[in-house]
Structure 1
Amino acid sequence: MEKWRLTYVVNDGSGMFGLEPAREHAYEVELDTASLRREGPDEQTILEMMRSAVRDHAGEGAVLTDAEEISS
């Protein structure tokens, strides 16, 4: 398991109406990415794991914007 800091915004649609812009949030999570390579098909698998973790944490409107590995 590796620990990741995932940065995301919640897209609730209010930004397109000139309301408050989306704020970034950070979420730390452990993902089973140790056996996956950081390129090719494994890279897409890792991204989908991260997107899924963010949606599970913050809801379907959450959009992953950045990821940083903080430990392995």
Structure 2
Amino acid sequence: MTAFQIKVLAALLMLVDHIGAIFFPKIFVLRIVGRLSFPLFAWLIGQGEKHTKNFKLYLVRLIILGLISQPVSYLLFQW
């Protein structure tokens, strides 16, 4: 599989997890299947770090993305 295909698979698995969390909270299979996205995303981040030419810029981009996505996630899910 290419990195793009792994990203798409991980995004679809994450979508299943979020749909299970919001619309079907009692169906645990959706949550379990969705949790498979984390190792895929973690592996992709590791590969990105391995192949980047500028680690500091890569790290800054990850931090900025986290700072942007965390408040949005909090507002949507209110956890």
The normalised TM-score by structure 2 is 0.31
Structure with the higher fraction of residues in helix conformation: 2
Which of 1 and 2 has greater Rg?
2
**TM-score calculated relative to the size of structure 1:** 0.33
Flag the structure with more relative contact order, 1 or 2, with Cα contacts below 8 A and sequence separation at least 6. Answer: 1
